[in-house]
């Protein structure tokens, strides 16, 4: 199982470079630059790492098919790929907070992501790309300088429609915050859709974003994990029903605004939600605790690997250098 890390959206270009080189030293496969509404440009932020590193892959996550025309995304991705000598990747997804920042709607999500992916995968240095999409068009794009191996295009998908589309066009698929039940359901759907598209699982590697909150202090880990729960599967009931009872699922659904308020404030306090429910959410949707919990986390990841997961992208938060060292020393060797 390949291990990637996803950096915090506040990370500067120089920190990305230094953290990426540290991750490269520890055998981590890729560094992902978070793309949030108020973060730095995710392509430019990776440029110092691209120039300084020699092995590690890198790319922005999540790039929506709303914020840039695919032509512009293709130019940025090809440039990053040139700077890194063929080690660029990109994760395309549906609407994020960027949509709200731009005052945009969220319509035609699957079509937008598909057409963006098709444009990105259609770029060649030896012939012009002419793409007559229903939503996007590109004419005469031929970057004759883009001669490195093609960048890897991931599509973020969890539900059937996105998985069906991703099975047709993605190089790789990334799931979000999987539980065993969510992972099994997604992989079953993906296998059916790959077969329908004339492809095999070997054609499309599967990754998953999982939040990493392991710290020397268990209380600090729990507080950080609780403050981020609003983002874990967006707290959708279909995510939660595999480990919460019906009343607990209904409570979490009713308290979504409280979870998002806690996230915005960086608070571990979610008014109206009992500690027992918060602990279940942290235990099932994140990797938290202290170093003594890592062996259990490794076994959980091994279970995901046995179920069919090829990669995992661990989302870092505070103390990113310490997290990379811990992951490099304890997780990477165990899953090599």
The 10s digit of each residue's pLDDT in 289-300 is 999 999 999 999
Lowest mean pLDDT segment, chosen from 35-39, 55-59, 104-108, 250-254 = 104-108
Helix (H, G, I), strand (E, B) or coil at 132: strand
- Which residues of the chain form CATH 3.20.20.30? 2-216+290-335
CATH of the domain spanning 2-216+290-335: 3.20.20.30
Q: What angle do CA 239, 64, 59 make, to 5 degrees?
A: 95
CA dist 198 and 177 (Å) reads 28
* Confidence (pTM): 0.96
Q: Are 144 and 125 in contact (CB under 8 A)?
A: yes
Phi/psi at 185 (5° precision):
-65, -45
User: Kind and range of the H or E element at 26?
Assistant: none
pLDDT per residue as tens digits for the range 191-246:
999 999 999 999 999 999 999 999 999 999 999 999 999 999 889 999 899 899 99
Residues in the chain: 336
Question: How does DSSP assign 9-25, residue by residue?
Answer: TT--HHHHHHHHHHHHH
CA pseudo-torsion sign 273, 265, 222, 294: positive
Tokens 């429609």 map to which residue? 161
Give the pLDDT band of residue 170 (cuts 50, 70, 90): very high
DSSP 8-state secondary structure symbol assigned to residue 169: H
Phi/psi for 246 (5° steps) reads -60, -40
Q: Taking the CB of residue 275, how many other CB atoms lie within 10 A of it?
A: 10
| pLDDT tens-place string over residues 59-90 | 999 999 999 999 999 999 999 999 999 999 99
CA 273 vs CA 224, 249, 268: distances in Å = 16, 11, 11
The H or E element that residue 36 is part of is none
């Amino acid at each position: 199982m390949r291990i990637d890390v996803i950096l915090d959206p506040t990370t500067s270009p120089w920190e990305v470079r230094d953290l990426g080189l540290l991750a490269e030293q520890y055998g981590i496969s890729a560094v992902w630059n978070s793309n949030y509404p108020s973060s730095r440009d995710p392509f430019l932020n990776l440029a110092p790492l691209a120039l300084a590193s020699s092995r590690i892959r890198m790319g922005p996550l999540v790039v929506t098919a709303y914020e840039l025309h695919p032509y512009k995304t293709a130019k940025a991705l090809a440039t990053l790929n040139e700077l890194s000598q063929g080690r660029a990747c990109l994760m395309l997804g549906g609407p994020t907070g960027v949509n709200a920042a731009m005052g945009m709607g969220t319509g035609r999500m699957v079509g937008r992501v598909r057409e963006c992916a098709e444009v990105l995968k259609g770029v060649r240095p030896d012939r012009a790309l002419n793409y007559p999409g229903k939503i996007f068009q590109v004419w005469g794009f031929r970057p004759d300088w883009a001669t490195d191996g093609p960048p890897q295009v991931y599509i973020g998908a969890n539900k059937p429609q996105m998985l069906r589309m991703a099975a047709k066009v993605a190089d790789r698929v990334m799931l979000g915050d999987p539980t065993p039940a969510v992972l099994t359901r997604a992989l079953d759907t993906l296998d059916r859709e790959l077969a329908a598209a004339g492809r095999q699982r070997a054609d499309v590697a599967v990754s998953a974003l999982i939040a990493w909150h392991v710290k020397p202090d268990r209380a600090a880990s729990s507080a950080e994990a609780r403050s981020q729960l609003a983002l874990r599967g967006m707290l959708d009931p279909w995510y939660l029903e595999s480990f919460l009872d019906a009343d607990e699922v209904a409570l979490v659904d009713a308290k979504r605004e409280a979870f998002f308020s806690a996230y915005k404030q960086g608070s571990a306090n979610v008014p109206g939600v009992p500690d027992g429910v918060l602990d279940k959410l942290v235990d099932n949707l994140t990797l938290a605790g202290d170093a003594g919990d890592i062996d259990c986390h490794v076994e959980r990841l091994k279970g995901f690997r046995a179920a069919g997961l090829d990669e995992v992208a661990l989302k870092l938060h505070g103390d990113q250098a310490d997290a990379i060292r811990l992951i490099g020393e304890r997780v990477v060797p165990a899953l090599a």
